[in-house]
Amino acid sequence: MDFFGKNGLPARMNFLQRKNYKEQIEEIEIEFIDLWYENPNYGLYNKNFEPAILLAEDAGSTTSIFGDYAAPSVIAASFVVSAFNDFRDFYIEKTQKSSISFPPFIEGLVPKKAYIDFQDSYTDYIRELSDRLLGTVVASKSDVFDFEDFMDISRRSLFPALKSSPITKSGFLLSDSCPIGVSGLCIELANQPYDSDLEKGRFLQTLEFKCYADIANGFGFYVDKNVPWRLIANLESPAMKSYISRYHGGTNTENILNRFFRAKTHYDDLEDVQRFFLGVYNQFIDQNPLFTKVEVDPTSIVRTKSNMLRPSPDGVYGRSEWLSLLLEIRHAELGIQITQEEFTERRQKVLDLQNNYGLSYNRNGYSLKPALGKIGLYSSEHIRSIYENKENFDSSKRTTLKDYM
């Protein structure tokens, strides 16, 4: 049976084709993972629903290359690589000792894509968002004298779209713009189009696919239902847990992941918000240092113009203002709908935490961790409620986190 769903078809036809693919695939009895309909953003948050990224600053500390058979630029989380290499060795040995072969277009089981650097992805994304905001501000430069005017423009142009165009790392990580490969859990064995169901259907309906998928499941991998040449580490699988435990024994795998492989993003969000707005504003005043002030004499109706230097943003916002702004941004990114009174109460709790515990939390300086932790808690509680309610959505349509908000 052929499946013809792909981008560009008329909406009704594409809906029916996608639905047909989904229903037929459900009859194949293997461990799929459905990143479109059932498990969006898999591997991008911890069990407390806090957005978390793979720690990959030090080469070789949490990631590994696959071996001589793959390009050295293709890496993944170390435990994922170990599991895949054992799976690959086992599968190749079976092909040599039996009539079993490889499914189409993944001959040799050679990873083509795996880990995608999160920081690089975020930097590229935020650069585009910054350019967009800068263009908006430049177009309204006659109304922008100082940082407060700049922030007024930013609020009007950016804030209504924060659900689809977030600013923070936490928002970006769980958005459509962030590739799933940043988790370090994914391995793609082919360079086939993601949107075309024709290649997927032919791949899935071969005899070799069932063997490949069963063996991959046994080594702790899901098969991506919508990209079946992509394997994703099943963190709940006993097999995958055994690979994780090899790196740091003596505790459960969730603790190992959180202590050695992951970093929560919400502790970086404030710095990223500051860098974003201050960076765009400084770029704006570098390019447009002078503000033309127009004054009208009410008696003679004479208009006079004078040029003034636009002021630096230094010191305009203090800790309280930045924390309040971050809280507002995270609520907008997640679509948290509360009353102004409730928001004011939350903001006060964040600021009280900072004032009461910020200094004592870090004896060497003033720590923002208590306040950022509270903002992270408000966010993770909402994300938890989103995923707990996701079964109410139409599973025949592609769904991501923002669709649950």
3-state secondary structure the chain: CCCCCCCCCCHHHHHHHHHHHHHHHCCCCCCEECCCCCCCCCCCECCCCCEEEECCCCCCCCEEECCCCCCCCCEEEHHHHHHHHHHHHHHHHHHHHCCCCCCCCCCCCCCCECCCCHHHHHHHHHHHHHHHHHHHHHHCHHHCCCHHHHHHHHHHHHHHHCCCCCCCHHHHHCCCCCCHHHHCCEEECCCCCCCCHHHHHHHHCCHHHHHHHHHHHHCCEEEECCCCCEEEECCCCHHHHHHHHCCCCCCCHHHHHHHHHEEECCCCHHHHHHHHHHHHHHHHHHHCCEEEEEEECCCCCCEEEEEEECCCCCCCCCHHHHHHHHHHHHHHHHCCCCCHHHHHHHHHHHHHHHHHHHHHHCCCCCCCHHHHHHHHHHHHHHHHHHHHCHHHCCCCCCCCHHHHC
Average pLDDT, the chain: 87
Better-scored residue on pLDDT, 193 or 322: 322
User: At residue 4, does pLDDT exceed 70?
Assistant: no
pLDDT of residue 21: 59
Q: What is the pLDDT of residues 133-173, one digit of tens each?
A: 999 999 999 999 999 999 999 999 999 999 999 999 999 99
pLDDT of residue 12: 59
- Which of the four pLDDT bands, split at 50, 70 and 90, describes residue 247? confident
- Which of the four pLDDT bands, split at 50, 70 and 90, describes residue 405? very low
Q: What is the pLDDT of residues 192-221, one digit of tens each?
A: 876 666 677 777 878 888 899 999 999 999
Q: What is the pLDDT of residues 249-271, one digit of tens each?
A: 778 999 999 989 999 999 999 99
User: At residue 3, does pLDDT exceed 60?
Assistant: no
Q: What is the pLDDT of residues 114-126, one digit of tens each?
A: 999 999 999 999 9
Average pLDDT over residues 353-374: 75
pLDDT of residue 290: 93
User: At residue 321, does pLDDT exceed 60?
Assistant: yes
Q: Who contacts 148 (Cβ-Cβ below 8 Å, separation ≥6)?
A: 316
0.95 cut: is pTM over it? Answer: no
Average pLDDT over residues 365-392: 85
Q: What is the enclosing helix (H) or strand (E) of 52?
A: strand 52-54
- Which of the four pLDDT bands, split at 50, 70 and 90, describes residue 404? very low
Q: What percent of the chain has pLDDT over 70?
A: 82
Terminal C-alpha separation, the chain? 36
